[in-house]
Amino acid sequence: MKKYVSFVMIAVLSSFLTLAGYTYFIKTYKQSSGKENNSLIHSQASQDSTNNFLHNAAYTPDDNNEYNVPDFRDIVKRTKDAVVHVRNTRYIQEYKPFYYGYRQGPIYKQEGTGSGVIISPDGYIVTNNHVIKDASEIEITLENKKTYKAELIGTDPNTDIAILKIEADNLQYLTFGDSDNLELGEWVLAIGNPYNLGTTVTSGIVSAKGRDLKGNKRIENFIQTDAVVNPGNSGGALINTKGQLIGINTMIFSMNGSYIGYSFAIPSNIVKKITDDILEFGSIQKGVLGVKAAELNGEIAKKLGINQTEGVYIYEIEKNSGADKAGLETGDIIIKINNIKVATMADLLGYLKTKRPGDKIEVTIIRNNTIKHFNITLSKNNAAYLKTLGLSVKNVNRNILYRYGISHGVYIDRVNNRLLYQNGIRPGYMITKINGQKIYSVDDITNILSDLADKQFTIEVVAPDGRIEKYIFQ
């Protein structure tokens, strides 16, 4: 019996010691974990004292966030009301064959939807051009369900940006962040109105920067994320952990029309520059470097006999351009602009889209294995000769457009096309559309015509007396 009692006492004592040791271990581990997390958070906050209201809120663990996962609740509360629902309405009339002509058919109403972002308290809104393209009416619905008729202020089809205005005051709005400072792996939020569901928030990381999705004809510079974006998100906000607008969600890469893992946004630095140009000048002010160049890779570098496989290789300098005056030469390799890395043509052209004529930039190049720096003043592409049309054209200001009673167009400065001249086209006419696409600058025309190549196209012109004429080129 005594032996039996001894065994029981030993068992009880062993269990007690095991339990006490386990409790002490867990307590010590939690205390040490807490100290490490707090120290890490303090370090992050001290690196940037300007972002203390959101960056810390997104990452600070609390009693309900034991594993330190991102918490975006505060960011969403501060930003969601600045993202709106955009509805566009088009009225389409069919023309049916009737004997030797056509007769008018019924008028159809067609609606489309998307998203937009309020960028000022007095009702200026940025969205995608494709969201409101050819709209007869545009309606904006705020988060509080109030609706407004919107006025189209201006568009830039090349960057797919449009600016709208509603008559309202004291609206919540988003400020622009610096998209050049985005880093791969950085957390972002996408806010929009997919499938007409209402305000929807998704999260992801920056997967890539400087994405070119259209090959060599039209270089773009998208931010790629894995935040879920679907039809209806177009024109919505991509937001960083400071609550700043760092992109406008524009498209997805998909075989079926729905999200499959990749989404793309126009960088905020481009959006801000386009917005400022439209509001201040009524047209896009494009800063021209004055070089013709090609993107380097291993194959091209081997043909050129150089070791550099990243950057932009200059093969022609435009006479009297900023690059020419500063001393750039053919064979130079651009590797940085304003200390920002240039690895691709998308990097170069994307950065130049954020600059205006007259802006000064520092270009870093490699010449004969030596790094050199040049200060260059960007010039303006105000005029162009359109060989396809036999016309010289130039940009004009809003006052001249107003005199013609139009909101967009470029001025015909010289006519070398005998057929057009015989049909009455003279200097002083305005080209307003090509194949239905609105023309805002000479760059618009050159871009459109380069895409059309040898295809048939129609141009629309406005005479000084306001007459609208159309011509078909084959």
Type of residue at 157: P
The whole-angstrom distance between residue 423's C-alpha and the CA centroid of its chain comes to: 41
* Alpha-carbon gap, residue 235 to 265, rounded angstroms: 9
Task: Check if 160 is active-site.
Answer: yes
Q: Kind and range of the H or E element at 34?
A: helix 2-47
DSSP characters over 377-399: E-EE--EEEETTTTEEEE---HH
Beta-bridge partners for 295: 312
- Out of 115, 179, 234, 441, pick the active-site residue: 234
**Nearest-CA neighbor of 239 among 128, 84, 86, 78?**
78
Torsion of CA 185, 242, 348, 343, to 10 degrees: -20
Read off the tokens for 196. Answer: 């007409």
Task: Check if 234 is active-site.
Answer: yes
Residue with tokens 């004969």: 368
Residue with tokens 């609208």: 468
* Alpha-carbon gap, residue 82 to 172, rounded angstroms: 5
- Out of 71, 74, 120, 130, pick the active-site residue: 130
Type of residue at 46: S
Task: Check if 46 is active-site.
Answer: no
Type of residue at 441: S
- Out of 81, 156, 160, 347, pick the active-site residue: 160
**Nearest-CA neighbor of 155 among 137, 174, 132?**
132
* Alpha-carbon gap, residue 195 to 94, rounded angstroms: 28
Which residues are known to be catalytic? 130, 160, 234
